[in-house]
Amino acid sequence: MNVLVINCSPVKTGATAEIVRLISEKISVKHQTKSICIDDYDFKFCKGCRTCHNTARCVMDDDVTLIMNELEQADIIVSVAPSYWADIPGQFKAFIDRCTPWSNTHEPHSTIGRGKKGYSVALRTGSGMKECDRIIQSIEHYYGHLEIECCGKLGLCSVEYKENVASRKDEIAAFCDKILML
């Protein structure tokens, strides 16, 4: 199986990137694994023109298509997002907005291959799970409109810096073990 692990943070070297690295490393023992960072791609904000509601294509031609090609190639997608004001980072939200051509909320719409499994990981600096739950809900909402089956989630609180991830390795490994069962 092909696994895509997405760093939904604009920070390429922080705690989110470290979690992406650990997940990718663990999953790669059984599955072909690729990780990407949302900030490595150049795309514009959705203009809200709704042309895609009639054409199933966006009027803009940028790196959103490249990211969607990565999702197309994947059997399993793992999105790892930190909390930015109690939700997903703006860069990831901007990408999701641009996925409207693939959304099942209108016809016609483009599609990615069926049968994909989606996993969500949320992290935040505070100690309560409420923000992690909100982030996971945002990711799962996105998965739902792309008809990606939500199969697992992990919320990690009190993680601010890359160094804070080391003490959470067992939780991350247990999360990965569920993916490895596929």
Residue-range definition of the domain harbouring residue 98: 2-180
Structural domains in the chain (count): 1
Question: Percent of the chain having pLDDT more than 70?
Answer: 100
Give the residue from 61, 155, 52, 45 showing the smallest Cα distance to 96: 45
Question: Which tokens sit at 31?
Answer: 């599955």
Residue 182 pLDDT: 82
* Residue 181 phi, psi dihedral angles, 5° rounding: -70, -15
- Domain CATH number, residue 9: 3.40.50.360
Neighbour tally for 167: CB within 10 Å = 10
Q: What is the 3-state secondary structure of the chain? A: CEEEEEECCCCCCCHHHHHHHHHHHHHCCCCEEEEEEHHHCCCCCCCCCCCHHHHCCCCCCCCHHHHHHHHHHCCEEEEEEECECCECCHHHHHHHHHCHHHCCCCCCCCCCCCCCEEEEEEECCCCCCHHHHHHHHHHHHHHHHCCCEEEEEEEECCCCCHHHHHHHHHHHHHHHHHHHCC
pLDDT at 165 over 90: yes
- How high is the mean pLDDT of the chain? 97
pLDDT at 85 over 90: yes
Overall pTM > 0.95 = yes
pLDDT at 29 over 90: yes
Question: Percent of the chain having pLDDT more than 90?
Answer: 99
Residue with token string 């909390």: 83
Tell me what the mean pLDDT of segment 80-89 comes to: 97
pLDDT per position as a tens digit, 142-160: 999 999 999 999 999 999 9
Q: How many residues does the chain have?
A: 182
